[in-house]
Structure 1
Amino acid sequence: MNENEWIKEFPAAITVCDEEGILLEMNNKAAKGYENEGGRKLIGSNMLDCHPELARTKTERLLASRAKNVYTVEKNGVKKLIYQSPWYKNGQYAGFVEMSLEIPFGDLPHFIRS
């Protein structure tokens, strides 16, 4: 198996950028989600250019602070967990990964473990 082969068809949208915000990779689900903006053609462009000013400013702060950002959103009745986190290569900060995962609240069991 290739190193990142499993990511291609993983059922969450995954995008990866470098420390400056340049998009390096996206899986199939992310490419489909950004289809109207160019899909995979966005690779090599700066993701900051795709955000309105408020989101751009927050994303710039995240890139600079290297802080994780986790939240939920709902659009058209679909709830998602957004998980944005720095990634590292050989121990050095290399950029951010964003995962957007649909949350099936109606069918989601919850367990408390000891």
Structure 2
Amino acid sequence: MSTGTHTSIRLTLFKHSSGSFLAALDAAQIPHEPIHMFSTNPQGSGLVEAITALSEAMPWNAIAKVVVAWIEARKSREVIIHTETGQSIQAKGYSASDVQKLLQNSTNVIVIDTKPVDAP
């Protein structure tokens, strides 16, 4: 999501993805912060984080590299990028440059790891 002066990537982390994915962002020195959501209706159980920066300062390449490396580290991991045009694209198998282009047009990024970090 972009407003012209700043850009934000919304990350929704499910299952066992939050610890390892946020640690990967931290290791790459990509700042992120939680989004606290309040609703009177039932909501999904995912943790929501955001990466926000001035439009020209968003580290697109670094974020794309984190996404690709995180997916490739375990078979139980998946990242789904929802775009402004309504597409849902699974990032598995894409290069960092392709993921970077997808992230720049994203409305939400779903991050999932179906197995705990200590599972084989």
Rg larger in structure: 1
Q: Same fold (TM over 0.5)?
A: no
Q: What TM-score results when the alignment is normalised by the length of structure 2?
A: 0.23
| Larger relative contact order (Cα-Cα within 8 Å, sequence gap ≥ 6) | 2
Q: State the TM-score, normalizing by the size of structure 1.
A: 0.24
